[in-house]
Chain A
Amino acid sequence: KNEVEQSPQNLTAQEGEFITINCSYSVGISALHWLQQHPGGGIVSLFMLSSGKKKHGRLIATINIQEKHSSLHITASHPRDSAVYICAVRLDSNYQLIWGAGTKLIIKP
């Protein structure tokens, strides 16, 4: 079993829909990152969370430390949101990131 599990693996939705991507982890963490990777390969950091909730524009990220679960929400989705969204956790003990497999999101106009 992977230490970081994301769901769904693939998600196709219509423009305007509310999107939720989930991340569950099984290890003790000091922080959780949500990142976005476009087809060209570049990775953009969206959020770093250690508790609670963060909001940036149409993106909202939440984390429940007790349940070891985080969600990334996109409101009023747009085709430019199409990308791979990756959850990565930083262990309590060191600096490495353990990565989820990613969720490929396609938003159709």
Chain B
Amino acid sequence: DTGVSQNPRHKITKRGQNVTFRCDPISEHNRLYWYRQTLGQGPEFLTYFQNEAQLEKSRLLSDRFSAERPKGSFSTLEIQRTEQGDSAMYLCASSLKMNTEAFFGQGTRLTVV
């Protein structure tokens, strides 16, 4: 296992289009987190899964955003009707349990034009 994997690495889309990102966590990790990072800022928490259950969603996550982790393994983050303000780096992290180290993927950089 080479760590947390995110696909695609880069995505350019036109405003109004839908996009979907994928995160494959480290295989035995049951916790999975999504963060968003805009230029010059630290990452902002978006949502968190424990196994397949989505336990928390940030207020940052508008109704255009949806995340799933159907079998408790990989997760997808979908953004509908993208806006220019959605342009950011979307980071995924996983951990074995709550107070253990979180491992991050390389991120998906989204540009909405």
Residues of A within 8 A of B (CB): 30-31, 33, 35, 40-45, 48, 50, 86, 88, 90, 94-97, 99-102
CB pair B107–A95 under 8 Å, yes or no, is no
Across-interface contacts of A42 in B (CB, < 8 A): 104-107
Residue of A nearest to B44 (CB): A99
Q: Is B48 an interface residue (CB 8 A)?
A: yes
Q: Bound state CA distance, A94 and B99, in angstroms?
A: 10
CB pair B37–A90 under 8 Å, yes or no, is no
Determine chain A's interface SS by DSSP, over half rule: strand
Residues of B within 8 A of A (CB): 31, 33, 37, 42-43, 45, 48, 56, 89, 91, 93, 98-107, 109
CB pair A41–B89 under 8 Å, yes or no, is yes
CB pair A43–B104 under 8 Å, yes or no, is yes
Total A-B pairs, Cβ < 8 A: 52
Known: A86-B42, A99-B43. A50 touches B89 (CB 8 A): no
Q: Bound state CA distance, A2 and B48, in angstroms?
A: 23
CB pair A45–B98 under 8 Å, yes or no, is no
CB pair A95–B109 under 8 Å, yes or no, is no
* The residue from B33, B100, B104 contacting A44, defined by CB atoms under 8 A apart: B104
Q: Bound state CA distance, A44 and B3, in angstroms?
A: 10
Residue of A nearest to B108 (CB): A41
User: How far in angstroms is the closest Cβ of chain B from A34?
Assistant: 11
User: How far in angstroms is the closest Cβ of chain A from B43?
Assistant: 6
